Each structure stands twice: as structure tokens, then as C-alpha cells.
Amino acid sequence: MAHRIAFLGFVALAVCASLSLAADPANLQDFCVADASGNTRMNGMACKNPAMVQASDFAFSGLHIPGNTSNAVGSRVTPVAVTQIPGLNTLGISMVRIDYAPWGINSLHTHPRATEILTVIEGSLEVGFVTSNPENRHITKIIKKGDVFVFPVGLIHYQRNIGYGNAVAIAALSSQNPGVITIANTIFGSKPDINTDLLAKAFQVDKSVVWQLQTKF
């Protein structure tokens, strides 16, 4: 019986440990303002001396300014993460503003380290994500001003402005550094290129199609 209790205790400890490792590191002090000049390499960023911390380390200005959407996809993401606010270091949260031209898209992408919760400030968006193999379910919805939608961590997702005017959204992410992997850019714009034979077989297309796509990215 004692062995069984000890085993269950070990399992519970292992589960708790795995959950604690599944998110950004927790703070062991009030804050850990990122020290961009630090030479220490670690999972996250080194802490600035608390005596040197200023209010500006916790502030950002400019989220009211529309992003320039004059690009191929018709959208612009303005990030507010640890790079913009050093005080976010170890706090496990960040945000973005997304501007969309008429019919602009925030192309298929994933955030490897964060769940995203998005709300529409202006306009209407088609949003969606695709579940993992083998189902690959496409879960999609039209959302309007004031609506909220969640994109689970790691899943491929997108937004598309379905109106004739500009659209704006604000999103929060559950990491100080959520990361972004844009699917088309990653596959067809890698440096060096992924082998064209491999991509042709993966997408079941002729190699000439792969070459054409690679020239675009």
C-alpha cells in the first residue's frame, strides 16, 4: 500500500512538473525587466538590475496608429511583446494590433508558444483554425465589431477582412514571446530552399509549381 501511495505521489509530482513547464517561466520576484544588453544566454531574457528599472520599461506608445497595409497580403501586425515592453519578461503575456485593408488577410500561421484571443475593433472578419491530424477540421466563423474568437496554441489559423472598408483587431497572446510561423513563407521561403522534389511530392504538384512559388517568397 505504501508503495502504491508513493507511486501515485510520484505521478502527481510529474504531472505538476509537466504543467509548470508548459507555459512561460513563473516569476520568483515582483518582475524581471529584460536586459537587452545582457550577455547571458537563457530561456527568456536576463533581468535588469531592479534598482535601474524605470516606468518606461513597462510602457509602450503607438498602438492607436494604423499599420501600413500596402503589401501583398493587405494586413499589418503591430506587436507589443517583450521586445517592445521589457517589463513583460517572464510575465507570460503579450498583445498585437492587426490592421486589414479591404479583403486583406492575416495569412495562415501558427504561434508555437501561445494561445491567442482576438477581438474585432472595426469591421468584420472571417476567422478560422484547423485541428491537428487526422481530423484536420476547419473551424471557422464570421465575427464583427465587439466579437471575440480564440485560436488554440500551435494550431494553424488565419483572419480575412470580408468588408469593403478597413478592419482592425486587437489580440492577446499567452506568452511574452509567442513566436510566429507563417506557413507559406516558411515552406517556400526557407533559406536554403527545401528540396523541390520533396515539396512536389508533399503537395502533389509538378516541380514547376514549386519553383514558381519559391520565387515569390
Binding residues for Mn(2+): 109, 111, 116, 157
Please provide the distance, in angstroms rounded to a whole number, between the alpha carbons at the two ends of the chain: 62
Give the three-class secondary structure for 57: helix
> What are the cell numbers at 17?
512538473
Residues of the binding site for oxalate? 106, 111, 116
Number of other residues whose CB lies within 10 A of the CB of residue 171:
23
Residues of the binding site? 106, 109, 111, 116, 157
Q: What's the rounded Cα separation, in Å, for the pair 19 and 4? A: 23
100 Cβ partners below 8 Å, 6+ apart? 69, 74, 75, 106, 123, 125, 159, 160, 161, 166, 167, 168, 169
Q: What's the rounded Cα separation, in Å, for the pair 151 and 130? A: 10
Q: What's the rounded Cα separation, in Å, for the pair 100 and 102? A: 6
Place of cell 494590433: 97
> What are the cell numbers at 182?
507563417
Q: What's the rounded Cα separation, in Å, for the pair 217 and 201? A: 19
Q: What's the rounded Cα separation, in Å, for the pair 181 and 154? A: 10
